[in-house]
Chains A and B, each alone.
Chain A
Amino acid sequence: MEKPRLIREDGLRHDGRRPDELRPVRISIGVLNKASGSALVEYGGTKVLAAVHGPREISQRHILLPDRAIIRCRYHMLSFSTHERKSPAPSRREIELSKVVRESLEPVVISEVFPRTAIDVFVEVINADGGTRTAAVTAASLALADAGIPMRDLVVAIAVGKVSGTLVLDIDEAEDMYGEADMPVAVAPSIGLITLLQLNGVLSREEFSEALKLALKGASQIYEKSREALRDRYMKVKVEE
Chain B
Amino acid sequence: MKPMRLMLAASALALTMSAVSVEAKSPPNVLVVAKNIDDIVSLDPGQAYEFTSGEIVANIYDRLVEYDPLNIDKIAPGLAESWTVSEDGRTFTFKLRQGAKFASGNPVRPEDVVFSLRRVVTLNKAPAFILTQFGWKPDNVEQMIKKASDTEVTLTIPETFAPSFVLNALAARPGSIVDEKEATKNAKDNDLGNAWLSRNSAGSGPFKLRVWRPGEAVVLDANKDAVKGAPKMNQVVLSHVAEPSTQRLMIESGDADIARNLGPDQIAAVKDKPGIKVETYPQAALHFFSLNLKHDKLKNPAIWEATKYLIDYDGIANTLLKGQMKVHQTFWPEGFPGAVNENPYKLDVAKAKDILAKANVPSGLTIDVDMISSPPFTDIGQSIQATMGQAGIKVNLIPGTSAQVITKYRARQHEGMLLYWAPDFMDPHSNAKAFAYNVDNADTAPQSTTTWRNSWLIPELSARTKAALVERDPTKRLDMYRDLQREVLKQSPWSMTFQAQAQVALRDEVKGFIHGPTNDLVVYRNVTKN
Q: Do A and B bind each other?
A: no
Residues of B in contact with A (beta carbons under 8 Å apart): none
